[in-house]
Protein backbone atom coordinates (compact mmCIF):
# COMPACT_ATOMS: atom_id res chain seq x y z
CA UNK A 1 0.00 0.00 0.00
CA UNK A 2 1.29 3.43 -0.92
CA UNK A 3 1.75 6.06 1.70
CA UNK A 4 0.70 9.64 1.10
CA UNK A 5 4.34 10.68 0.92
CA UNK A 6 5.23 8.12 -1.77
CA UNK A 7 2.13 9.03 -3.76
CA UNK A 8 3.01 12.71 -3.66
CA UNK A 9 6.58 11.93 -4.69
CA UNK A 10 5.33 9.91 -7.65
CA UNK A 11 3.08 12.79 -8.73
CA UNK A 12 6.05 15.18 -8.66
CA UNK A 13 8.01 12.82 -10.95
CA UNK A 14 5.40 13.11 -13.73
CA UNK A 15 5.20 13.83 -16.59
CA UNK A 16 7.38 11.25 -18.30
CA UNK A 17 7.41 9.87 -21.84
CA UNK A 18 4.00 8.33 -22.39
CA UNK A 19 3.91 5.72 -25.17
CA UNK A 20 0.55 7.10 -26.30
CA UNK A 21 2.22 10.36 -27.36
CA UNK A 22 4.66 8.48 -29.58
CA UNK A 23 2.03 6.19 -31.10
CA UNK A 24 -0.42 9.05 -31.72
CA UNK A 25 2.32 11.19 -33.23
CA UNK A 26 3.25 8.46 -35.68
CA UNK A 27 -0.34 7.39 -36.46
CA UNK A 28 -1.68 10.90 -37.03
CA UNK A 29 1.48 12.54 -38.33
CA UNK A 30 1.49 15.04 -35.45
CA UNK A 31 5.03 16.35 -35.11
CA UNK A 32 4.18 18.28 -31.94
CA UNK A 33 3.21 15.03 -30.19
CA UNK A 34 6.57 13.56 -31.16
CA UNK A 35 8.42 16.70 -30.05
CA UNK A 36 6.64 16.61 -26.70
CA UNK A 37 7.41 12.89 -26.29
CA UNK A 38 11.12 13.56 -26.99
CA UNK A 39 11.24 16.44 -24.50
CA UNK A 40 9.96 14.37 -21.54
CA UNK A 41 12.03 12.17 -19.22
CA UNK A 42 12.59 8.78 -20.84
CA UNK A 43 14.23 7.09 -17.86
CA UNK A 44 12.13 7.63 -14.75
CA UNK A 45 13.65 6.34 -11.51
CA UNK A 46 10.58 6.42 -9.28
CA UNK A 47 9.15 2.91 -8.80
CA UNK A 48 5.53 4.09 -8.85
CA UNK A 49 6.06 5.96 -12.11
CA UNK A 50 7.75 2.93 -13.68
CA UNK A 51 4.91 0.68 -12.50
CA UNK A 52 2.42 2.91 -14.30
CA UNK A 53 4.21 2.74 -17.65
CA UNK A 54 2.84 -0.40 -19.31
CA UNK A 55 5.14 -0.12 -22.34
CA UNK A 56 8.66 0.85 -21.34
CA UNK A 57 10.30 0.62 -24.77
CA UNK A 58 7.68 1.88 -27.25
CA UNK A 59 10.17 2.29 -30.11
CA UNK A 60 10.35 -1.51 -30.33
CA UNK A 61 6.67 -1.51 -31.35
CA UNK A 62 7.21 0.66 -34.42
CA UNK A 63 8.06 -0.58 -37.88
CA UNK A 64 11.07 0.95 -39.54
Residue 33 has pLDDT above 90, yes or no: yes
The pTM assigned to this predicted structure is: 0.77
Instruction: Tell me how many domains the chain contains.
Output: 1
Residues 6 or more apart whose Cβ sits within 8 Å of residue 61: 19, 23, 55
pLDDT confidence tier of residue 1, bands split at 50, 70 and 90: low
Summarised one tens digit per residue, pLDDT across range 6-19 is 777 667 778 899 99
Full residue range of the structural domain in which residue 24 is found: 4-61
Tell me whether residue 34 is exposed, middle or buried, using C-beta atoms within 10 angstroms of its C-beta: 0 to 12, 13 to 18, 19 or more.
middle
Choice between 61 and 64, residue whose per-residue pLDDT is larger: 61
pLDDT of residue 31: 98
Residue 53 has pLDDT above 80, yes or no: yes
Amino acid sequence: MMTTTSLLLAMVMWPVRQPALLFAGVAYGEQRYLDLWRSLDGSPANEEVIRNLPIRHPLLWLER
